[in-house]
Amino acid sequence: MTEVLSVLLYGLVQAAILLLVALGFSVTFGLSGIPNFAHGGVYILSGFVCWYLLRQLAWPHLLAAAGGVAVAAVVGVLLYWLVIRPVRRLVLAEVIATFAAGVAMLELFRWMGLVTYDFNLPPVVAGSVTLGEVTVDAHRLAVVAAAAGLGLLLWWFGRATRTGLALRAMAQEEYTALSLGVREDVVATVSVALGSALAAVAAVLVLPLGLISINLGYDAMLVALAVTVVGGTERTAGLVLAALLLGMTTVAASVVLGPHWSEVIYLAAIVAVLAVRPSGILGRLKELEERV
Amino acid sequence: MSPEYRRERLDRGIKVRSEDVFVLAGWSELLYRAGPRLTATVLLLVFPLLRPWTGDYWQTVFLVALAMMLAAVSWAFLENVGLVSLGHSLFFGTGGYLTALAALELRVPALVAVLLGALSGSLACALLLAPVLRLRGVYFSLVTFALPLLLSRIIEATKILGGTEGLVGVPGLGSLAARQYLLVMALLATVFGLQRLLDSDYGLVLHAIRDNDVGVRASGIPVGRWKLAATALGSLPASLAGGVLATHYHVVGMSAFALDYSVLPLTAAVLGGPGTMAGVAVGAALLVPLSEVLRAFGTLRVVVYCVLLVLALVAVPEGLFSLARRRYHQFERWVPV
Lowest mean pLDDT among A115-129, A240-254, B43-57, B319-333: A115-129
Q: What is residue A284's predicted lDDT score, i.e. its pLDDT?
A: 57
- The SS3 call for residue B262 is helix
Contacts of A275 in chain B (CB under 8 A): 131-132
Residue A37 has pLDDT above 80, yes or no: yes
Show the 3-state SS of A105-174: HHHHHHHCCCCCCCCECCCCCCCEEEECCEEEEHHHHHHHHHHHHHHHHHHHHHHHCHHHHHHHHHHHCH
* Residues 6+ away with beta carbon under 8 Å from B283: B72, B267, B268, B269, B270, B271, B272, B273, B319, B320, B321
Based on the number of CB atoms within 10 Å of its own CB, is A159 exposed (0-12), middle (13-18) or buried (19 or more)?
exposed
Residue of A nearest to B312 (CA): A97
Residues B84 and B227: beta-carbon distance below 8 Å: no
Q: What is residue A68's predicted lDDT score, i.e. its pLDDT?
A: 87
Lowest mean pLDDT among B93-97, B151-155, B208-212: B151-155
For residues B302-328, give the mean pLDDT: 82
| Whole-number percent of chain B with pLDDT over 90 | 10
For residues B311-327, give the mean pLDDT: 82
State the DSSP H helix or E strand holding residue A48, giving kind and residue range, or none if neither.
helix A39-51
Based on the number of CB atoms within 10 Å of its own CB, is A42 exposed (0-12), middle (13-18) or buried (19 or more)?
buried
Cα-to-chain-centroid distance, residue A241: 15
Cα-to-chain-centroid distance, residue B266: 9
* Residues 6+ away with beta carbon under 8 Å from A235: A282, A283
Distance from CA of B255 to the nearest CA of A (A): 14
Q: Could you report the per-residue pLDDT of B258-286, keeping only the tens digit for each?
A: 777 888 888 888 888 877 888 888 888 88
Contacts of B227 in chain A (CB under 8 A): none
The verdict on B156 touching A (C-beta cutoff 8 Å) is: yes
Identify which of B132, B138, B146 has the shortest CB distance to residue A95.
B138
pLDDT, mean over chain B = 83
| CA distances for B1 relative to A74, B4, B6, B217, angstroms | 47, 9, 16, 59
What are phi and psi for residue B26, nearest 5 degrees? 125, 170
Residues B107 and B169: beta-carbon distance below 8 Å: no
Residue A287 has pLDDT above 60, yes or no: no
- Rounded distance between C-alpha atoms, residue A143 and residue A209, angstroms: 10
Lowest mean pLDDT among A166-170, B12-16, B104-108: B12-16
Q: What is residue A196's predicted lDDT score, i.e. its pLDDT?
A: 92
Residue B259's region, left for phi above 0, alpha for psi from -120 to 50, else beta, is alpha
Residues A171 and A27: beta-carbon distance below 8 Å: no
Q: What is residue B120's predicted lDDT score, i.e. its pLDDT?
A: 92
| CA distances for B315 relative to A58, B278, B281, B318, B329, angstroms | 42, 20, 20, 9, 22
Q: Could you report the per-residue pLDDT of A99-156, keeping only the tens digit for each?
A: 888 888 888 888 877 666 666 777 766 667 776 667 777 778 888 888 888 888 888 8
> Measured between alpha carbons, how far apart are the two ends of chain B, in Å?
13
State the DSSP H helix or E strand holding residue B193, giving kind and residue range, or none if neither.
helix B176-199
Q: Which amino acid is at B280?
A: V
Smallest Cα–Cα separation from B78: which of A246, A36, A189, B86? B86
Q: What is residue A213's predicted lDDT score, i.e. its pLDDT?
A: 78
State the DSSP H helix or E strand holding residue A62, giving kind and residue range, or none if neither.
helix A61-78
Residues B158 and A259: beta-carbon distance below 8 Å: no
Q: What is residue A47's predicted lDDT score, i.e. its pLDDT?
A: 87
* Residues 6+ away with beta carbon under 8 Å from B105: none
Q: Which amino acid is at B330?
A: Q
Residues B87 and B204: beta-carbon distance below 8 Å: no
H helical segments located in A161-284: 162-172, 174-179, 184-206, 214-231, 236-256, 261-276
For residues B60-87, give the mean pLDDT: 88
Distance from CA of B50 to the nearest CA of A (A): 35
- Rounded distance between C-alpha atoms, residue A76 and residue A214, angstroms: 19
Contacts of B307 in chain A (CB under 8 A): 100, 104
For residues A219-245, give the mean pLDDT: 80
Q: Could you report the per-residue pLDDT of A67-114, keeping only the tens digit for each?
A: 888 999 999 999 999 888 888 877 777 888 888 888 888 888 888 776
| ipTM attached to this prediction | 0.75
Contact check, Cβ <8 Å, A104/B307: yes
Residue A1 has pLDDT above 70, yes or no: no
Pairing of strands A128-131, A134-137: antiparallel
Q: Could you report the per-residue pLDDT of B177-198, keeping only the tens digit for each?
A: 888 888 899 999 999 999 889 8
Contact check, Cβ <8 Å, B142/A274: yes
- Rounded distance between C-alpha atoms, residue A195 and residue A36, angstroms: 9
Lowest mean pLDDT among A178-182, A273-277, B262-266, B328-332: A273-277
Among B160, B212, B299, the residue to mutate for chain A (most A Cβ within 10 A): B299
Q: Which amino acid is at A272?
A: A
Identify which of A97, A225, A271 has the shortest CB distance to residue B313.
A97
The verdict on B138 touching A (C-beta cutoff 8 Å) is: yes
Identify which of A218, A229, A261 has the shortest CB distance to residue B142.
A229
For residues B214-228, give the mean pLDDT: 89
Contact check, Cβ <8 Å, A270/B299: no
Contacts of A266 in chain B (CB under 8 A): 146
Q: Could you report the per-residue pLDDT of B119-162, keeping only the tens digit for each?
A: 999 999 999 888 888 777 777 887 788 788 878 878 877 777 77
The verdict on B266 touching A (C-beta cutoff 8 Å) is: yes
Q: What is residue B232's predicted lDDT score, i.e. its pLDDT?
A: 92
For residues A148-169, give the mean pLDDT: 83
The verdict on A271 touching B (C-beta cutoff 8 Å) is: yes
Residues B296 and B333: beta-carbon distance below 8 Å: no
Contact check, Cβ <8 Å, A271/B132: yes
- The SS3 call for residue B10 is strand
pLDDT, mean over chain A = 80
Q: What is residue A74's predicted lDDT score, i.e. its pLDDT?
A: 93
Q: Which residues of A198-223 are buried (b: 16+ CB within 10 A; e: fewer)?
A: bbbbbbbbbbbeeebbbebbbbbbbb
